[in-house]
Amino acid sequence: MIGRIIRVSEQNPRLVISIFYPSSGGSRLKGIDLYAPCQTEVADIFKEMGVDLENLNVIDKLSIDDKPNTSKGIWPVLILSPGFGVERDMYLGIISNLVPKGYIVVTIGTPYESIFTVYPDGSLIKQEKEMAELKSSDYSSWHQLLDSRSRSITEVMEYLDTLNQSAPELAGLFDLKNVAAVGHSLGGAAVLEAATLVKRIKAVILLDPSFHLIRVDEIPSSVPVLLLRQEASSYEAMASVMNEEIARDYIDGQRNAYNILTNSHFYRVKGAQHMSFSDIPLYYGDLHAESVHTATVEAMTAFMEAVFQSRHRLSAMPLHSNDTVVQINSDGDPI
């Protein structure tokens, strides 16, 4: 079973996180119950989006009001920063496969930016109109969001220190010497920049990150990085589905990162689209995301185990190109 506890750090705005951990039991939690005590309001939001509420039941092994499994002692930590507009816990397809492998996953809320944010006290914050209407070409606003995301990751690391020392049900569970950060889309750009601020981040995993927003002078050069891109990873493929100017900036950012990140490993996932790394396709009955999640977790696990065992630089990458996960060069083409 997988347990989940919500905690709120009293920042401004209040920083809400979900902590997923290996558990030995507890009351089962349905998909809509992730958003307690605002299930009714959130159900209405999903219905307006055309989502069948039954599709929110991505997994059947999530529980609440239980105790963490302490048999192992401490668990490596994975901090997850979601994509723009995506609620922090819409990654259960990945989380549910990572936690049983021996990890604690901490997801970070993004109030006012995500489609909605629910707090344990019943507060519900919907996405601001300004965020919903943010233009892809407004780089200044995107970089402000990126700065906010990077700060939140720093704050979460500090908060985990506090929880690890004093929270009755969590104290001593976090192995804060083995921390990886994973980010999707905007969250990917954020975790890469955060790795320069939080030296305890030992590995960075990028799920189709917003390369067009990454600032070259603010990314680490040697931290181990795993990139998993959608299948449309070259300029030609991107330009066919997005604004050509954004596609050019995106491929330029990808090339710069490839050249600067001296300890990086670039791959693309066959069949993956940008949102395939989240649960959102599953909400609409698109099951292709299940195979993407499986491949993603296998790659992430092999990468993190190798990094944590080596303590920093990998002498050899444990991944090899196959039919699903294909190694790519700076242009996004198969090697």
Condensed to tens digits (0 to 9), the pLDDT of residues 21-47 reads 988 777 788 899 999 999 999 999 999
Q: Give 280's contacts (C-beta < 8 A, 6+ positions apart).
A: 86, 90, 289
What confidence category does residue 12 fall into, taking pLDDT thresholds of 50, 70 and 90?
A: low
Rounded distance between C-alpha atoms, residue 116 and residue 128, angstroms: 9
For residues 96 and 286, give the distance between their C-alpha atoms in angstroms, rounded to a whole number.
Answer: 18
CB 77 within 8 A of CB 172: no
**What confidence score (pLDDT) does residue 166 get?**
85
Alpha helix stretches (DSSP H) within the chain: 39-48, 92-98, 129-132, 139-166, 186-197, 235-239, 244-260, 280-283, 288-310
In degrees, rounded to 5, the angle at the alpha carbon of residue 104 between the alpha carbons of residues 52 and 293 is 45
Which comes out higher in pLDDT, residue 230 or 62? 230
Average pLDDT over residues 281-292: 97
For residue 278 the two structure tokens come to 């989240």
pLDDT of residue 25: 73
Residue with tokens 């402000």: 144
Rounded CA separation 169/47 (Å): 36
Cα–Cα distance, 149 to 15 (Å, whole number): 11
311 pLDDT above the threshold of 90? no
Distances, alpha carbon 19 to alpha carbons 4, 108, 109, 173, in Å: 5, 9, 11, 11
Is the confidence at residue 65, as pLDDT, over 60? Answer: no
Place of tokens 């070409």: 137
DSSP string covering 48-80: HTT--GGGG---S-EEES--B--SSS-EEEEEE
Q: Choose from 23-27, 216-220, 258-262 the range with maximum mean pLDDT.
A: 258-262
SS3 call for 94? helix
Q: What is the mean pLDDT of the chain?
A: 92
Q: Which residue has the higher pLDDT, 166 or 131?
A: 131
C-alpha–C-alpha distance, residues 115 and 236, integer Å: 31
Give the residue-averaged pLDDT of 302-320.
77
Give φ, ψ of 266 to 5 degrees. Answer: -105, 130
pLDDT at site 213: 95
